[in-house]
Amino acid sequence: MLSFETILNQIENGISNLKYDHPPTNLDHPPTNLYEPIRYILSLEGKRIRPALTFMAFNLYKENTASCMQPALALEVFHNFTLLHDDLMDQADIRRHKPTIHKVWSPNTAILSGDAMLISAYQLIAQTPEKYLKEILDLFSTTALEICEGQQYDMEFEGREDVDEKEYIEMIRLKTAVLLACALKMGAILADAPQADQENMYQFGINIGLAFQLQDDLLDVYGDSATFGKKIGGDILTNKKTFLLINALKKASEPERKMLTDWQHRKEFIPEEKIRIFTEIYNQNKIKETTIQKIEEFYLKAMSHLSGLSVAPKKLSVLISVTNQLMNRQS
Amino acid sequence: MLSFETILNQIENGISNLKYDHPPTNLDHPPTNLYEPIRYILSLEGKRIRPALTFMAFNLYKENTASCMQPALALEVFHNFTLLHDDLMDQADIRRHKPTIHKVWSPNTAILSGDAMLISAYQLIAQTPEKYLKEILDLFSTTALEICEGQQYDMEFEGREDVDEKEYIEMIRLKTAVLLACALKMGAILADAPQADQENMYQFGINIGLAFQLQDDLLDVYGDSATFGKKIGGDILTNKKTFLLINALKKASEPERKMLTDWQHRKEFIPEEKIRIFTEIYNQNKIKETTIQKIEEFYLKAMSHLSGLSVAPKKLSVLISVTNQLMNRQS
C-alpha cells in the first residue's frame, strides 16, 4: 500500500503535468489570460485532500493507481474552480495567503477562467477508463450540481435569520461533504469494490465532511489563532449562520437572543467586543459542548461506515490516520 | 426525412421536458434562485439552430433521431450558458428583447446558475448512447474550451488597436463557428457516418459559422434596422473590432485612418454622426464589397464541403435551405 506522502507526491506530479498553455490552431499566441489564472490557483498550496481520498480508497482494493490519476485530478481542478467562483461571489480578497484571481486579474477573468477550469475538469474525467466512464461521469456531475445547490443555499441563508439546524446541515452536506464522498466513491468504483463498499465509502465521506465543517465552525470561535490559519471570530464578524450561531439562537434566553440579533444588525462596532459577546453567550449555553457532541456523532457514524467495508481492518490505517490528522489539526 | 419544422418542434418539446426544480435529498424546498434563471433563459425565443443542426446532420444518414435528442439539447443548454456568462462579462442589459439574468436577479446568480447550466449540459451529454459517449464527450469539451478561448480573445481585442484579419477570423472561429461545426459533427458521429463525412460536416460548420459572423458584422452597418432586430451601428458605437473596421483601418488613407482612430477615442459624441463618418469611410474604401466577397468565399467553401458528403444530393435540401435562410435573413 502507498503511504500518504507517496500519494501526495504522485498528485503534485500529476498537477504539474497539466498543460494550460496551448495556442489555438491558427495563432501562435495562446490566450494567456485565460490559462495563467488556472496555473496560479493550482500552484497555491492546497491540501489536495480530495484526489488523495480517491487514491486511498482505490488503494484499499488495488495496487496500481494509474487508472485513478486523471479522475482524481479532475476533483482537484473542480474544487479549485469552485474556490475561484466562490471567492468572486463572496468578494474574498485572500485565498491561501495570496490575493484571489479577481483581485490579481479581474472579475471577468475569474468568471471565464473558472468556466475553462470546469470544462478542463470534465476533460480529465473523460480520461477515465471507458468501462467506468459513464458511472464516474454521472457521479461527478451529480456532485458538481449539488455543490452549486449548496453554494446557492449558503448565499440565500445570509439574508435569512430563521435558518434551522436541519437546513444548515443539508447546506454543508451539499457544499462540502458530497465532494469528499464523491472522491472516495470514485476510488472504490475504479477499483471494482463491491457495491456495498462503494456506498459505505460514500457515507463515510458525507459524515467525515460534516464533521470537518462543524470542526471548522468550532475552530472559528474556539481555535488557537496560531494554528487555525485564519483570524479567530471571522464567522461572528460576518454574521455567518454557523452551527454555533444557529444553536445559540435556539438555546439562548430571550435577552441573550435579543443581544445576538441586535449585534448582527449593528453597522459599527469594535470587532473584539462583538466576538467577546458572542463567545460569552456561546459559553453560557454550552454551545462548544453541543458542537463537539455533534462532531463526535458524525465522526462515529463515519467510522461505522468505514468498518462496514469488506477490507481487512489493518488496511484502513492510512485513511484513518489522515482523517484523524484532519480532525485534530488544532493540535 | 424530417422537415425543419418537425425538428424544431421536437427540440422545443425536449427543452420543455428538462426539469430544473428538484429539491435536494433532505429538504423540501429546491434552491429556486439557482434553477429559475435557467428556465428563464431557456424559455426566451432562441433559434435553436445548434440542436437543429445535429438533428439535420443525423437525419442525412438515419431516420430515428431519438439517440441525438439529449446531446443536441446539451448544445442548446451550453449555448445559453455562454450567453448568460458573456452577457454578465459584457454588461449587456438585454438579450432577445428581455432583461438579462444579472439584471433580473444578480451577478452572483448569473455566475452560479451559469455554472449549473454548464454542468447540466454535461449531464445531457452523458445520456449519449454509451458506444459514442467518449467521442462525443471529447468533442464537446474541446469545443467548449475553444469557445472560452474565443471569448478571451474577444475581450483582449477590445483593448488592442492592432488586431489583424487573421486574428479576428480565428477569434470568431473559436467563439462562434466551432459550436456549429461541433453540432453538425455530433449528428454525423451518432449516425455512424463515414469518417470523411464527419470531417466535411465539421468544416461545413466552420465555414458557414464564419460566413454568419461576417454577415452579422455587415448587417450591423448595412442592414435594415426593421429586419435586423438590433439597432444599426451598435458595433461602431462600441468600437468593436469587426471585420469591417479591421479592413477599413488597413485600406483607408492616412487622414481617414486618423479619423477612425480619433473617433474611437472620443468620449462624447453624437451617435448618428459617428455612425455616418464610419460608414462614409467604409463606403469610400469599398469595405462592403470586401466583406461580401469574404462571406461568399466562406459560403462557397462551406458548400464544397457539403457536396463532399457521401449522401445523395437531394437529401441535402433541408440543410441547404436552412443555411440559405440564415444567410439571407435580411430579406
Chain B residues lying within 8 Å of A133, measured CB to CB = 133-134, 137
Contact residues on chain B for A88, CB-CB shorter than 8 A: 111
* Chain A residues with CB within 8 Å of chain B CB: 24-27, 31, 33-34, 85, 88-89, 108, 111-112, 114-116, 118-120, 122-123, 126, 130, 133-134, 137-138, 141-142, 144-146, 148-149, 151-153, 155-156, 166-167, 169-170, 173-174
Alpha carbons B181 and B205: distance in angstroms, whole number: 4
Q: How confident is the model at residue B45 (pLDDT cuts 50, 70, 90)?
A: confident
Task: Answer yes or no: is pLDDT of A98 > 80.
Answer: yes
Predicted confidence band of residue B27 (pLDDT cuts 50, 70, 90): confident
Distance of residue A181 Cα from the nearest chain B Cα, in angstroms:
15
Chain B residue with the nearest C-alpha to that of A153: B31
Give the Cβ contact number of residue A137 at 10 Å. 23
Bridge partners of A94, per DSSP, are: A99
Q: How many CB atoms lie within 10 A of CB A82?
A: 21
Residues of B in contact with A84 (CB under 8 A): none
Backbone phi, then psi, for B99, in 5-degree steps? -65, 145
Nearest CA-CA distance, residue A314 and chain B, Å: 34
Query: What's the rounded Cα separation, in Å, for the pair B292 and B136?
Result: 35
**Residues of B contacting chain A (CB within 8 angstroms):** 24-27, 31, 33-34, 85, 88-89, 108, 111-112, 114-116, 118-120, 122-123, 126, 130, 133-134, 137-138, 141-142, 144-146, 148-149, 151-153, 155-156, 166-167, 169-170, 173-174
Mark yes or no for CB contact A112/B167 under 8 Å: no
Contacts of B134 in chain A (CB under 8 A): 126, 130, 133
Q: What is the mean pLDDT of residues B220-229?
A: 78
Which three cell numbers mark A153? 443555499
Residues of B in contact with A173 (CB under 8 A): 26
ipTM of the complex: 0.95
Contacts of A119 in chain B (CB under 8 A): 118, 141, 144-145, 148
Q: What count of CB pairs under 8 Å joins A to B?
A: 122
Q: Which three cell numbers stand for residue B72?
A: 443536441
What residue has cell string 467586543?
A273
Query: What are B277's three cell numbers?
Result: 463618418
Nearest-CA neighbor of B150 among B89, B106, B196, B194?
Answer: B89
Supply the DSSP symbol for A128.
S
As a whole number, the mean pLDDT across chain A is 94
- Would you tell me how many other CB atoms lie within 10 Å of the CB of residue A263? 16
Q: Are A20 and A54 in contact (CB under 8 A)?
A: no
pLDDT over 60 (residue B330): no
**Dist CA A195 CA B205 (whole Å):** 44
Most confident of B31-40, B154-163, B196-205: B196-205
Query: Is B111–A85 a contact, with Cβ atoms under 8 angstroms apart?
Result: yes
The reported pLDDT for the residue numbered A159 is 84
Q: Which of A85, A111, A155 is opposite residue B89, by nearest beta carbon?
A: A111
Runs of H (alpha helix) within chain B:
4-16, 32-43, 49-59, 69-89, 101-104, 107-125, 130-158, 165-172, 178-190, 195-222, 225-228, 234-237, 243-251, 254-265, 271-284, 287-307, 317-327
> Is the pLDDT reported for residue B331 higher than 60?
no
Enter the DSSP assignment of B22.
Answer: P
* pLDDT tops 60 at residue B256: yes
Burial of residue A303 (CB within 10 Å: 0-12, 13-18, 19+) is middle
- pLDDT value at residue A261: 94
Interchain CB distance below 8 Å, B119 and A118? yes
* A31 vs A247, higher pLDDT: A247
- Cβ neighbour number for residue A321 with a 10 Å cutoff: 11
Shortest distance, CA A143 to any CA of chain B (angstroms): 10
Please say if the pLDDT value at position A331 is more than 70. Answer: no
Q: What is the mean pLDDT of residues A73-99?
A: 94
The contacts of residue B64 (CB under 8 Å, 6+ apart) are: none
**Tens digits of residue pLDDT in A12-65:** 999 999 988 777 777 888 888 999 999 999 998 889 999 999 999 999 999 999
pLDDT of residue B329: 53
Taking the CA atoms of B303, B309, B312 and B317 in sequence, report the sign of the dihedral they define: negative
C-alpha–C-alpha distance, residues A138 and B122, integer Å: 9
Residue B7's pLDDT is: 96
CB B88 within 8 A of CB B100: yes
What local confidence, expressed as pLDDT, does residue B104 receive? 95
Q: For B124-136, write each residue's pLDDT tens digit.
A: 999 999 999 999 9
Section B201-227 average pLDDT:
92
Select from A148, A162, A175 the residue whose CB has the most chain B CBs within 10 Å, as the one to mutate to test that interface: A148
Work out the burial of residue B295: count CB atoms within 10 Å of its CB; fewer than 13 is exposed, 13-18 middle, 19 or more buried: buried
Q: Where are the alpha helices (DSSP H) in chain A?
A: 4-17, 32-43, 49-59, 69-89, 101-104, 107-125, 130-158, 165-172, 178-190, 195-222, 225-228, 234-237, 243-251, 254-265, 271-284, 287-307, 317-327
| Cα of B46 to nearest chain A Cα, Å | 23
Report residue B105: phi and psi, to 5°: -105, -100
Name the residue of chain B whose CA is nearest to A155's CA.
B108
Note the pLDDT of residue B259. 96
| B263 burial level (CB within 10 Å; 0-12, 13-18, 19+) | middle
pTM for this structure? Answer: 0.95
Tell me the chain A residues in contact with residue B23 when contact means C-beta distances shorter than 8 Å: none
Q: Given an 8 Å threshold on Cβ–Cβ distance, is A31 in contact with B152? A: yes
> Could you report how far apart the first and last alpha carbons of chain A are, in Å?
27
Tell me the Ramachandran region of residue B97: left when phi exceeds 0, alpha when psi lies from -120 to 50, beta otherwise: left
Rounded to a whole number, what is the distance in Å from the CA of B116 to chain A's nearest CA?
A: 6
pLDDT confidence of residue A24: 76
* Better pLDDT: A195 or B223: A195
How much is the pLDDT for A97?
86
Minimal CA separation from A178 to chain B, in Å: 12
Residue A99: what are its φ and ψ, rounded to 5°?
-65, 145
Q: Which residue has the higher pLDDT, B226 or A319?
A: A319
Q: Which residues contact B259 (CB under 8 A, 6 or more apart)?
A: B277, B281
d(CA B120, CA B328): 34
Q: What is the CA radius of gyration of chain A?
A: 21
3-state secondary structure of B229: coil
pLDDT of residue A329: 53
Residue of B111, B147, B170 for testing the chain A interface, max A β-carbons within 10 Å: B111
- Taking contacts as CB-CB distances below 8 angstroms, the residues of chain A near B127 are none
Which amino acid is it at B100? T
Alpha carbons within 13 A on the beta-carbon side of B196: 6
Q: Which of A32, A108, A156, A173 to probe the B interface (max B CBs under 10 A)?
A: A108
B30: confidence class by pLDDT, cuts 50, 70, 90: confident
Q: Tell me, what's the pLDDT at B229?
A: 63
Residue-by-residue DSSP string for A284-303:
HTTHHHHHHHHHHHHHHHHH
Residues A118-177 have pLDDT tens digits of 999 999 999 999 999 999 999 999 999 999 999 999 999 988 889 999 999 999 999 999
Secondary structure of residue B231 in the 3-state scheme: coil
**Residue A220 CA: distances (Å) to CA of A196, A211, A242, A245:** 36, 14, 10, 12
Instruction: Please tell me the predicted confidence (pLDDT) of residue A330.
Output: 44
Please give, rounded to a whole number of angstroms, the shortest distance from the CA of B313 to a CA of chain A.
Answer: 31
pLDDT given at position B228:
63
- Other CB atoms within a 10 A radius of the CB of residue B107 amount to 16
Nearest to B102 by CA among B94, A153, A160: B94
Q: What SS3 class is residue A64?
A: coil
**A321: three-class secondary structure by DSSP:** helix
- Where is mean pLDDT largest: A156-160, A270-274, B45-49? A270-274
Whether A112 and B88 lie within 8 Å, measured CB to CB: no
